Amino acid sequence: MVVYWLYNITGEEFLLDLGDLIHRQTFDYTHAFLNTDLLSTTGSIHCVNLAQGIKAPLIYFQHHPEQKYLDATKKGFADIRKFNGMAHGLYGGDEALHGNDPTQGSELCSAVEMMFSLESILEITGDAGYADMLEKVAFNALPTQASDDFMTRQYFQQANQVMMTRHQRNFDVNHGGTDLCMGLLTGYPCCTSNMHQGWPKFVQNLWYATADKGIAALAYSASEANIDLPGGVRVAVKEETSYPFEETIRFTVNPTAKAVFPFHLRIPAWCKKGAIKVNGKRWLEPEGNQIVKLTREWEKGDIVELTLPMHIFKSTWAENSISVERGPLTYALKIGETSKLVKNDKDPVDYGASYTEIRPTTPWNYGLILTPDSKLEEQYKWEVVKPFSHYPWNPENAPSRIKTRARRIPSWGLYNEMAGPVPYSVTYQLETEDKEEDIVLIPYGCTNLRISQFPVIRKKQDF
């Protein structure tokens, strides 16, 4: 990757030969994704190596544009999802690859490295699907794993996480049992060094200059950019939005002179049909899973308004559990919690002087009621609960929530200070409480404790 970066600056041909040499001497991810069982085998590869290496085929593709590199990357992501995927957008990898049980860990370094890989892949391919994956990690997995002030972080997170305590769990590696605790150096110090690349690199990849001499917004967040186009035109663009918590994104386009150029916008796969207005007039109503192009003469003060209507949908995971999602956000059970700062008198001083444990104060062992897709909006009531804040990623500041009803499953309890094995869905004879209860789901990235992959139960009258 660095060799190609330098070649694009200097144009020195020997660098392309050096790129080929490095490619031959390193692990062949292309072959591994296409022709081996690497991603279906527990323990086969380190979780962060995978997050870094998954971009290797498409980095090499830049010099060798062969279809196999595109195919290998697609299959790699599909197999990660199939054999190891979880509702937060990442995968079971508590050091080595470790399957899709929602209590297996996912390392913070995996989140930021996977984001960088997806950003690199998106830049090369322009494939809208990779931007969808990027936002899934950025808006779900990443924010939950660091404290608001970034002075502490969690080494592993769990998709179903009901206790954050010092304890030896069913992880590939346990670092004194502190892997789920919030601390400066709990688990292993690498994440303290590595976590800070997540948001800055995401910001760097919100805007692109395109091969057709235009500009592109492929991932969305409030931002400003100055983009130099061929012909000496500079475009200052301002993006105003509370996305992913709202549906509307407003762009103000200010070129230094009137100019004709294309403006590319991504319509996510989860969006059934978007809406684009230019200066208040309807321009296009594109279907999802594509990048659309607006070509016109632009002048200072032009306004583009992109609306991406969000709806409730569900995804299926291990043991037929489901996650409840809206737009790019996964929603998870809001669990009452109590936290305790623990003086670290068990580890060497360089492991950190203290860490925080969090325990639940409210029930978490709920099953969601089986609901056909056509009635999801009736069963899951989404609502805004407070204005969007500068830092929404904690339970107190969660801007939105989903209300629904559920029943507790008495046999689903704690095991080894974790949620026990998630009951298989859907079973006819699963014992549940008779009473339905109101529960609240909040965005996954706002949670500390949570259930995000729920068992599904049938109503009594369905038996």
Same domain, 220 and 129: no
Is 338 inside any structural domain? yes
Nearest to 128 by CA among 426, 419, 328, 299: 328
State the maximum Cα–Cα separation within the chain, in Å, rounded to a whole number: 73
Same domain, 95 and 16: yes
Instruction: Name the domain count of the chain.
Output: 3
Is 281 inside any structural domain? yes
**Among residues 307, 338, 356, which one ends one of the domains?**
307
Is 164 inside any structural domain? no
Nearest to 384 by CA among 371, 367, 402, 366: 402
Q: What is the CATH number of the domain that holds 274?
A: 2.60.120
Exposed/middle/buried for residue 280 (C-beta within 10 Å: 0-12, 13-18, 19+): exposed
**Among residues 273, 307, 341, which one ends one of the domains?**
307
First to last CA, the chain: 57
DSSP calls for 136-185: HIIIIIHHHTB-TTSS-EESEE-SEE--B-S---S-S--STT-TTSEESS
What is the residue whose two structure tokens read 């978490």? 364
Q: What is the CATH number of the domain that holds 59?
A: 1.50.10.10
Phi, psi of 288 (to 5 degrees): -75, 170
Same domain, 425 and 436: yes
**Cα three-residue angle 423-323-186, rounded to 5 degrees:** 85
Which is it for strands 215-217 and 259-267: parallel, antiparallel or unpaired? parallel
Same domain, 56 and 186: yes
Same domain, 236 and 152: no
Same domain, 228 and 331: no
Structure confidence at residue 461 (pLDDT): 55
The contacts of residue 58 (CB under 8 Å, 6+ apart) are: 69, 70, 73, 120, 121, 124, 125
Whether the Cβ atoms of residue 79 and residue 33 lie closer than 8 Å to each other: yes
Q: Which amino acid is at 325?
A: E
Same domain, 283 and 375: no
Same domain, 261 and 387: no
**Among residues 203, 228, 263, which one ends one of the domains?**
203
Structure confidence at residue 26 (pLDDT): 95
Same domain, 292 and 372: no
Same domain, 337 and 371: yes
Is 41 inside any structural domain? yes
Which is it for strands 354-360 and 182-183: parallel, antiparallel or unpaired? antiparallel
Nearest to 274 by CA among 286, 263, 282: 286
Tens-digit pLDDT profile for the chain (463 aa)?
Answer: 999 999 999 999 999 999 999 999 999 999 999 999 999 999 999 999 999 999 999 999 999 999 999 999 999 999 999 999 999 999 999 999 999 999 999 999 999 999 999 999 999 999 999 999 999 999 999 999 999 999 999 999 999 999 999 999 999 999 999 999 999 999 999 999 999 999 999 999 999 999 999 999 999 999 999 999 998 999 999 999 999 999 999 999 999 999 999 999 999 999 999 999 999 999 999 999 999 999 999 999 999 999 999 999 999 999 999 999 999 999 999 999 999 999 998 888 777 789 999 999 999 999 999 999 999 999 999 999 998 888 999 999 999 999 999 999 999 999 999 999 999 998 777 899 999 999 999 999 999 999 999 999 987 655 4
Is 365 inside any structural domain? yes
Is 163 inside any structural domain? no
Same domain, 143 and 268: no
Range of the domain at 231: 206-307
Cis peptide before 253 (omega within 30 of 0): no
Same domain, 398 and 443: yes
